[in-house]
Structure formats: structure tokens, C-alpha cells
Structure 1
Amino acid sequence: MNTSLKYWAVFAAFAGLLSCNSDDDFSEPEPPPSIAPPSFSEGDQQLSDTLTVGGTVTLSPRLKENNGVIYTWTIADEVVSTDSIYAFGPEERGDYEIIFSAQNDGGEISAVYNIYTLGGYENGFYIVNEGWMGHGTGTLSFYRYDTGAVEDSVFVKRNPDKDLLPTTSTLEYGTIFNEELYLVAKVGGPVVVADAYSLREKGRIPAQGGNDWRAFTGLDESRGLLSSGDGVYTLSLNPVGLGGKINGIEGQTGDMIKAGNYVFVLSAAEGVVILNAVTLKVEKTIPGIQTGFARTGDGKVWMAGKTTLTGVDPETLNIEEVELGFDAYGSWGAWHPGSIAASATEVYIAKNSAWSGGSDIYRYTGNAGSLATPFATLPEGKVMYGSGLRYDPNTDRVVVHAVDKGWGNSFSRNALYFYNGQNGGLVDEKTYEGYYFPAVSVFHKEG
């Protein structure tokens, strides 16, 4: 036999033997261990929350199985995080939908978080302060519902390159219209328009000697009115610009309110002048009225003068009169917004003296007998300042601004009182120091 063939034969036999032994030892490989899909822990997950711009909320889903999990957080189709938890700090007001998903080789789960973000100045109400004339400008404060804190000078803090000068002016009025805050100053001061939630300034009528603005009311998306020490002027809103003086009203004017197709204007000379909201022509006057305005849920507009509380139907202009039992004074000597407010069904009015605020608040419920006794009385030694009272529909409370009775440093001792809107009980109070001279509270939602 050829030597090479002999070696091949031996090799083949050996290979066959190995093959037989290998076949005898073969077994199927064990499958890899199965991976449990991610799952949430038992119990409710907190999938909704509310916070304020500038704050953060940590979203932390509770998982029972998290082996080999990949996490994804998505807002508006954009991945914002791949961590197991997510700290959300929005910069803008609004509703946010945040989608969380967790997946591994075993499967995938997801959850949707709904976060409502309040504006920086939404969870509370504004306080318009006159300021200490000659010492500083008027200021804007903000009371926060969640902390009970009164934050001072929030407008200039939010707009450090803006001001409310001159120091000889008096910041006297504020209102919110179409999500914009209108601040109105007397005695040469400006009219300022800011976003009602962020306080970013959006426009202004500059301060100027001779200006003596009083109040603002909106007519529609593009027009409003400004009352003044000399009649009423039109105001364009987009952009903000002063128009001309309307005909038919002369001299000092103050509070205004639009109701239905009419605008009610408080006039020192004529009482209340009712304008057609479209033509701005005078439709009717109601003499003798000294303070206004408030509106109940039925649309009726309320005002007062002498010893009479007067309600006007804004559709028919029919008048209802109720005996107050005390004199209702105006503030034309040093004008401030009227000391009258309303909830959906009640009217609240302060019993002031001719030259200073009072300490008693009365409530009219539709029954004349409800005016027989005070609804609420301030603590001893305190009197209302400025408009004195407003109704907060967010909390069903009557909010009262007060200072110590007297002169001099009495004006530096401020108090906010919160009365139950149904029974007049004192619910809460907040005291603070400083020469603010509070004029009026402004709520995002008016009563």
C-alpha cells in the first residue's frame, strides 16, 4: 500500500470515531432566560399636577420590573430625557402632555402626565398701590394664594428697564381685559399694559404733565376707553395708542364698566352717564350717583349715591332702587375706585365717611332687610383705604385693604382681611409694613 494512502485511511478512521463520540454527547442548548417586561407598581400613579412658571416638578414613575429598561420622556414629539425620572421646569404658561415610556426585550409600557402650568403671576391677585407721593412711585404687589405672601414691586422686578415715574403721580387703578393688565396713574403718570400672567410690558401711554387718567374699560378686541380728570378718551389696543376725547362728557370722570351694549361712566357732574358701546353717544344719565360699579350674575350693574343703592338692567336700562340706610359718598376730592363689589348674587358696599374709609361693610342679597346690620366690621382701630374692598370669585371671599385709623405713620401699618362671602366671618388676615397706600385689588377672574 502506498504510504500516503495508509495515512489517509488511519486519519479517516480516527475522524469517524470522533464523529461517533460527538454525536453521542450532543444536546440542545438551553434557551436564554426570559426577560420580564417592565411594569408599574401597584397603586395609583400621580399623573397630573399644577405648578407655576419658575417652579419644577419631579416626575417619578414607580416600576415593579425594570430589568434592562430603556427610558424615554417626550414632549410634543421631542425626546427631552432618557433618565428614569424627569424634573420638569416649564418656562411658559399652559397645559403640557408629557409621555413616559419604559421598554426592554420583554416589552414596553407608557404613561401620560398632564401638567398645568400657571403663569408667574396667576395663582393670586394683584394689589395696585398709590405710592407715597413725592417719595416714590406707585407700585404693584402680588398676593399668592399658596404661600399667603405679599410680593412687592413685582412690575419693576419683572421689567427692570421700565418704571412708573414720576414720583408726583399716583398709581390708582388696575383691571384685566383680554388677558392683559391695565395700570392707570393719575397726576401726570402713565398708562401701562402688561401680560396679565407674566407681567411683561406690552405697551404704554407715556407719563406727561397734564395727564390725569383714572380708569380703563375695554370695548372690544381693538378699542377701549380711558376716563380722566377731563372727560373720557378712546384708546386703541393693538398697538396701544391714545385717541380723541368723546363728546358729551365733561369734567372729572372715574370708574367705568361695559355691560351689554352700554358703557357706564361715573361723572362728578352728572352722576352716571350711559354710553352706547358702539357709537359712544350718550343714551341716558342717572343723577346723584357717587360710587360704582359692581355687576351681579344676572348682568345687573350696581352703584350708589346719597342713601340709595341702584341697580340697572343693561338690556332695558330699567332702574331698581334700594334704601341703604346710610350715605354713600364718592371720592372726587382725591379720587380712588369705588368701594362697591359683587358676587354672583350679592352686592357688598363700604360705609365710608365723606373724607376717609370706614370700618363697616354691608351686603345686599336681594332683600332690603339684609342691609339692616353690617355684614362685617373691621377689627378695632382699622379703617379701609382706597377702594377698600373687592370680591374674590376664586375663593368666595371679600378682600379688604385697611390701615390704622389716624394720620402719619398709621398709613404704614397695612392689613389684608379676608371675609367669608356668605356669612361675613373673618377667614384670614395678613399684616405688613410700608407706605404703600393700597388703591385696589385686581383678580384674574372678576365677580
Structure 2
Amino acid sequence: MKNQFFSRPLIAIASLMMLTVSCNNDDDFTAPPVIKGEQQLKDTLTIGKTLQLSSKLADRKNVSFEWTVNGNVVGSDSTYIFKPEARGDFKITMTAKNDGGKVSLAYDIHTYGAYENGFFMINEGWFGHGTGTVGFYRYDTKAIEDSVFVKVNPDKDLKPASSTLEFGALINKKLFLVSKVGGPVVVADAYSLKEEKRIPAKGGNDWRAVVGIDENHALLTASKGIFKLDLNTMEVNGQIEGITGQVGDIVKANGYIFALSASKGVIVINASTLAVEKTIPGIVLGFAVTDDKKVWAAGGKNLISIDSNTLEVKEIALGFQAYGSWGAWHPGSIAAAKNDVFIAKNGSFSGGKQVYKYNGTPESLTTPFITLTDSNILYGAGIGYDRKKNTLVVNTVNEGFGANFAINNLYLFNANSGAKTGSVNFSGYYFPAVSVFHQ
């Protein structure tokens, strides 16, 4: 009974004490920091640029800050300036603290290489007046940066001036630049554009295009056949037997290499043994590879598809004459977008004004997908497909001669609708050869 009697007063006193303490805490209560808006943010940045990040707090009074990049503490201010030194993905976390608690804000930043957020424009150059150049179109600025290779590599060049830079390709995250008429073959990092290796310029060299076979080997086409290239040493180790004369475009699909010969048409090569498996005569224009691994080319008035598993060939009536460019070689005016094929209706060398799109039905080839206006004509390959933006990229000069070749236009078209989505006009004797895209 005594325990029950004393328990009630004790409970009442304890309740009164709790009430008193609670009231005092309400008077001194500090609210934890509060972030305005989303707490998980994403952004992108190109190496060489800076990005100022904000804490995004509603109230910064009596708050301390900590910034970390991938777990490493890098700052204690209310803002942080991020300047990455490498490409890749970074997690930046801001933690704000006060007497009432803490809150965190995360930024996921993808950093592009210096020459990643856009595509390369390979220009053959004005023969006899200077070498070819590499331009770069940036997605964010919608502008072309000129001569970026020599700007990144001021102690390097693409001489001699008598050579023409005619081809580019991305192999193993490296940009290969291939020159004709005694010029070099240069290998640069695909993201920084810093030169790593080269086949030096030499009289007698007359390269055309390159394709990777595996991590260590590639094939180089030339005016005198197909050469084997060691990617580690950049040494040429012989030729593929039985293939002579000029060979231009070359691609790999499944276990085969497809090369375009001026005398034999398409030459199909086993990628493992390098033995010739098949030839398809009469083909003058190539190549495009669709997502279903069909290889596309053209000759006469036909578009052809080659099944890269069975090597079965199918012909589709093109409705116009297909022309190659053996007289003054440039890459073929054909490109693939997923399982569609774009092909230019060129003149005997270049200079077309119409691009057709084959989507698997004969009706799609009855009318042009794009018709250039004014004095614009295609030059070089003229067309390319940018998978990242689902864009057909078109390079033109003005028809005519002389100063007309210094009037350049880069056009971007939606690859589904054909609607023009952008353009850049620029001047100079660049003579565009081919566009090269990051995948």
C-alpha cells in the first residue's frame, strides 16, 4: 500500500519536470538545415571547364559545410567550384550541419573528355596549299572548332602539303587519321586528341581507310591493296595475298571484313584467317552497317545488302545510278541509322543534292528524303549518321569552282522526319571528307 501511495505523487512530479524541460527546449530549439528543391541532381561538364555548385539551403545561418568528391573532402564553403582533371563520373556530396542536425545534397557529374561532347569533321584540305585539318562540332555550343588536332599537338603536323587527309575512324577509343599521297597515319586519344603514335609520312605511301580486326590488329587499305597493321607498334607487316590495285572503304561485321576494290567490287575477307571468301563484282559505293549486321553497298542502279552471317546478297532497285570516287577517292556517300540506310544521289565524283532513305520498302526510294536548296552540293562523303542525336549530318560546298569551294555549310537533320534541326555556315578551303562520331 505504501508503494502505491507514494507512486502517484512521484509520477506527478516527474510529469511536471518533463513539461518544464520540454518548454525550455522549445524556446532553444534549432531547426536542422533545409534544402530547397531536389536533393539528387545531375549535370555534365567538359574537361577544362569549371562548374560552380551551390548548397541550395533555405537558410545558411550558423551552418557549417563539407564538400566531398567521390568520398574525399575538398571544401568547406557554402559553394564549391568543380574543375575535373579526368573524364568520367563523379559523385559530389554537400553536407550542411547546425545544432539541430544535418542534411546532404548529392550531385552526379559526368565529365566529358575535351573532344567527346560532339563529333569530328575530317577535312581533306586544299591540295598543294596545306594539309588537311580536324574540326570538332560541339553539341553544347552548336559551333565548329577549327584545326583542333594541331592546336592540341603544336609540335605535330599532317604534312606534306601535297597529301590529303581523307579518312577518320574510332578504333579502341583512338581516333585514326588516314592521309593519301605520301601523308601519315596518325593515332590520337579519342577524348583528348593528344597524338600517341603514327606511321610517318613517306613518299610512296598512299593510304585510304582503316578498320580494326581486334585489340591488336587492323587493316589499312591503299592504292596498292590491303596492308596488315600492328596497332601496338604501328608497323605494317605485309599485305593480304591476292588483292592488288586501289582499295577504299572497309568495314567489319561479325566474322568478316568487307573491302571495296576498284577492280573487283566488294571483297569479303575472313577476319580470323584473312583469306578471301567471296567477291561481289560491279559494286562501286560502300559501306553502311545496320544494327541487324547487314552490310550495305551500291553499284549500277541497285542497292545491295549482304548478310554478314551467311554472305547472302540481296538487290534492291535504287532508281538512279550509283557512283564511286576512284578518280579522286573519298569515303562513300552512304550511312546507316539503326536499320535504315541513307544514300546520296551523287554525280560521277560528288556534288549531289539529294539524299534517299531506304527503310526496307521499295516505296521509300521513290522520293528523296532530303533535297538541298540554293547552291548547296554534297562534298566528300557528304553524309553521316550521329547515333547519339539521331541526326543525319550533311556537309556541303557551293556548286561551281574556285571561291565556291570556300563556302561551307554543315546541316543537321532529324533522321526520322528529315526536319532540319541546325546549321553552321563557315568559310575556308576545307574540302570536307567525312564526319566521325563517338558511339
The two structures have a TM-score, normalised by structure 2, of 0.91
State the one-letter code of the partner of 1:323: A
Shift of 1:233: 0.8
1-side partners of 2:282 and 2:94: how far apart? 64
Shift of 1:107: 2.7
Contact 1:36 1:67 survives alignment (8 Å): no
Aligned pair 1:212/2:188, yes or no?
no
1:430 aligns with: 424
2-side partners of 1:211 and 1:326: how far apart? 35
2:52 aligns with: 58
- Using a 3 Å threshold, how does the CA distance of structure 1 residues 161 and 66 change in structure 2: closer, same or farther? same
2-side partners of 1:426 and 1:32: how far apart? 63
Shift of 1:415: 0.7
Shift of 1:34: 4.1
Aligned with residue 350 of structure 2, among 340, 356, 372: 356
1:91 aligns with: 85
1-side partners of 2:316 and 2:46: how far apart? 44
The runs of 5 or more residues in structure 2 that have no matched partner are 1-23
Contact 1:40 1:61 survives alignment (8 Å): no
Deviation by residue 1:188-227 (Cα, 9 ceiling, x = unmatched): 0011111111111111111111000100100111111110
1:338 aligns with: 332
1:401 aligns with: 395
Aligned pair 1:264/2:258, yes or no?
yes
Work out the percentage of aligned pairs sharing the same amino acid. Answer: 54
Q: After the TM superposition, which of the residue ranges 33-42 and 333-342 deviates more from structure 2?
A: 33-42
- For residues 124-135 of structure 1, what are the structure 2 equivalents within 5 Å? 124-135=118-129
The runs of 5 or more residues in structure 1 that have no matched partner are 1-29
1:101 aligns with: 95
State the one-letter code of the partner of 2:212: G
SS of 2:260's equivalent? strand
2-side partners of 1:334 and 1:344: how far apart? 30
1-side partners of 2:364 and 2:326: how far apart? 29
State the one-letter code of the partner of 2:429: Y
Aligned pair 1:112/2:96, yes or no?
no
Shift of 1:437: 0.3
1-side partners of 2:100 and 2:162: how far apart? 73
State the one-letter code of the partner of 2:395: H
State the one-letter code of the partner of 1:303: A
Aligned pair 1:152/2:146, yes or no?
yes
Shift of 1:123: 1.2
- For residues 283-362 of structure 1, what are the structure 2 equivalents within 5 Å? 283-362=277-356
Contact 1:37 1:103 survives alignment (8 Å): no
Runs of 4 or more, structure 1, over 6 Å off, are 30-33
Q: After the TM superposition, which of the residue ranges 238-247 and 179-188 deviates more from structure 2?
A: 238-247
Aligned with residue 121 of structure 1, among 115, 119, 127: 115
State the one-letter code of the partner of 1:322: I
1:166 aligns with: 160
2-side partners of 1:85 and 1:307: how far apart? 64
- For residues 232-271 of structure 1, what are the structure 2 equivalents within 5 Å? 232-271=226-265
1:412 aligns with: 406
1:282 aligns with: 276
Contact 1:362 1:374 survives alignment (8 Å): yes
Shift of 1:135: 1.1
Aligned pair 1:444/2:438, yes or no?
yes
1:16 aligns with: none
1-side partners of 2:25 and 2:305: how far apart? 85
1-side partners of 2:420 and 2:62: how far apart? 58
Shift of 1:65: 4.5
1-side partners of 2:131 and 2:403: how far apart? 18
Aligned pair 1:69/2:63, yes or no?
yes
Contact 2:70 2:91 survives alignment (8 Å): yes
Deviation by residue 1:34-77 (Cα, 9 ceiling, x = unmatched): 46254123432462111111111111012234443321111233
- Using a 3 Å threshold, how does the CA distance of structure 1 residues 289 and 318 change in structure 2: closer, same or farther? same
2-side partners of 1:47 and 1:130: how far apart? 43
2-side partners of 1:190 and 1:373: how far apart? 41
SS of 1:157's equivalent? helix
- For residues 184-195 of structure 1, what are the structure 2 equivalents within 5 Å? 184-195=178-189
RMSD across aligned positions (CA) = 1.8
Contact 2:331 2:434 survives alignment (8 Å): yes
- Number of residues of Structure 1 aligned to a counterpart in Structure 2: 417
The higher radius of gyration belongs to 1
- Using a 3 Å threshold, how does the CA distance of structure 1 residues 34 and 247 change in structure 2: closer, same or farther? farther
State the one-letter code of the partner of 1:380: D
Shift of 1:112: 2.2
